[in-house]
């Protein structure tokens, strides 16, 4: 299949989600993908985040033993789920972010225990993590910088009795076990998060600087607060101090900081920030990805577009890392047949094509481009192999974004 057709973006993308919820239903509210595959990782490994039982840097993919369903790599820590619903973590643990009730680093996968299993997905940063279970319950653990874990503000540590284990996010109005378990329907920013409920409403909380929470203000929000508008069926992305969303009609929206023109409005500068969603020109958008102050989005015709900061050449325009290389309107990255399987963090971008090839560009100081070297690239370059999956919605896990300082990469090859 050459890319994603317009009808798939505007109609079938939503019907696929409906089918998925019905055919792979776990209970009366939530759903799960029960497939699995091989987990391959490479790049930064100072704290054992590559799961190899050591702290050796790898500039080419190495396999983590086992069968895996989803993965989220922050560069320091890694979270992954297995088809049986168990959650595993490894890497840096200085703030208890691995969920083991201790602060010990682990260089091999170790199972996280928090209530019953049945974890659907986990998203994390270098200090804390969120996890959602198939029953729709939302959990959090690690360091509570800016109240991101909803237990107060000011860098408090999320510890109870002996440690830092996952705890359910509870409180009036948001303990209804109705949070989405679909990967594209939630996103973590640096000091907060946005999460969709199964009724299609979108909620956010945490540090609202630059308007990143989408509430027409820059205030700190200590409990989930609904973002105005109709977001049912939208795909959400966030990182740093901006968020973006593609609605089922193929329109692309963004809000938050706009220092490098990353909101795609042909304007730039912090004074051009937006504290509520603004539409980016164009139609037929499919899936957004945010890396700090850069925005990437695949369109339904298989083309890939971007705007914002060009640090380490991550916009893929074959330009140097200079302020003049930033773009305040969306520009196309060379190539076609890109799929919705794309991730970006720490100025490194990975993306799949529909022929099963995997491509990378941008920063490469820790070998995270998988080229067996540490040379950055300002244009897409293929990672060896052609069996990375076609990037289809249920072909395996490929995060829409990875955590801050994401100099370690993780991709699951579907089996």
pLDDT tens string 357-375: 999 999 999 898 999 999 9
Q: Write the burial class of residue 86 (CB in 10 Å: 0-12 exposed, 13-18 middle, 19+ buried).
A: middle
Three-state SS string across 148-213, please?
CCCCCCCCEEECECCECCCEECCCCCCCCCCECCCHHHEEEECCEEEEEECCCCEEEEECCHHHCC
pLDDT of residue 139: 84
Q: What are phi and psi of 325, to 5 degrees?
A: -85, -5
pLDDT of residue 13: 28
CB within 8 A of 191, min separation 6: which ones? Answer: 145, 146, 148, 206, 207, 209
At 68 the three-state DSSP class reads strand
Structure tokens at 138: 């939302």
Distance CA 130, CA 224 (A): 14
> What stretches in the chain show pLDDT beneath 70?
1-35, 114-116, 145-165, 167-176, 191, 390-407
Give which of 79, 80, 114 is closest to 98, Cα–Cα. 79
Question: pLDDT by residue (tens digit) across 196-255?
Answer: 998 999 999 888 899 999 999 998 887 788 999 999 999 999 987 999 999 999 999 999
End-to-end CA separation in angstroms for the chain: 19
The alpha carbon of residue 152 and the mean position of all alpha carbons in its chain are separated, in whole angstroms, by 24
Interior angle at CA 96, CA 91 and CA 98, nearest 5: 45
Distance CA 107, CA 415 (A): 25
pLDDT of residue 147: 63
Q: What 8-state DSSP symbol labels residue 227?
A: P
pTM score of the predicted model: 0.85
Cβ neighbour number for residue 336 with a 10 Å cutoff: 13
pLDDT of residue 11: 29
Structure tokens at 106: 């682990």
Question: pLDDT by residue (tens digit) across 47-77?
Answer: 999 999 999 999 999 999 999 988 888 878 9
């Amino acid at each position: 299949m050459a890319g994603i057709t317009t009808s798939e973006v505007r109609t079938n993308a939503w019907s696929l989600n409906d089918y998925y919820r019905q055919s792979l239903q776990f209970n009366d509210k939530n759903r799960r993908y029960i497939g699995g595959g091989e987990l391959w990782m490479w790049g930064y490994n100072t704290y054992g985040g590559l799961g190899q039982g050591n702290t050796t840097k790898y500039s080419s993919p190495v396999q983590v033993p086992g069968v895996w369903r989803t993965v989220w790599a922050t560069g320091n820590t890694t979270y992954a789920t297995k088809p049986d619903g168990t959650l595993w973590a490894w890497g840096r643990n200085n703030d208890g972010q691995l969920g083991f009730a201790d602060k010990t680093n682990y260089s091999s996968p170790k199972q996280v225990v928090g209530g019953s299993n049945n974890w659907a997905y986990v998203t994390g940063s270098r200090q804390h993590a969120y996890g959602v279970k198939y029953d729709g319950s939302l959990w959090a653990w690690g360091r509570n910088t800016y109240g991101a874990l909803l237990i107060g503000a000011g860098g408090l540590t999320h510890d109870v009795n002996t440690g830092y284990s996952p705890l359910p996010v509870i409180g009036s109005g948001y303990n209804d076990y109705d949070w989405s378990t679909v990967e594209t329907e939630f996103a973590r920013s640096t000091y907060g998060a946005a999460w969709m409920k199964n009724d299609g409403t979108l909620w956010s909380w945490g540090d609202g600087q630059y308007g990143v929470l989408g509430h027409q203000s820059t205030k700190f929000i200590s409990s989930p607060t609904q973002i105005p508008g109709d977001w049912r069926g939208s795909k959400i992305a966030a990182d740093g101090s901006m968020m973006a969303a593609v609605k089922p009609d193929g329109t692309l929206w963004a809000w938050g900081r706009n220092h490098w023109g990353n909101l795609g409005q042909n304007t730039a500068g912090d004074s051009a920030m937006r504290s509520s969603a603004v539409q980016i020109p164009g139609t037929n958008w499919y899936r957004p990805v945010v890396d700090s102050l850069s925005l990437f989005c695949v369109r339904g015709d298989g083309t890939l577009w971007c705007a914002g900061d060009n640090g380490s050449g991550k916009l893929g325009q074959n330009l140097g890392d200079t302020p003049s290389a930033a773009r305040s309107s969306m520009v196309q990255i060379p190539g076609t047949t890109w799929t919705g399987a794309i991730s970006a963090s720490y100025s490194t971008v990975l993306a799949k094509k529909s022929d099963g090839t995997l491509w990378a560009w941008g920063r490469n100081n820790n070998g995270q481009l998988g080229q067996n070297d540490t040379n950055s690239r300002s244009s897409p370059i293929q990672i060896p192999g052609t069996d990375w999956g076609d990037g289809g919605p249920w072909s395996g896990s490929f995060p829409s974004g990875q955590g801050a300082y994401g100099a370690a990469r993780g991709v699951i090859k579907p089996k």
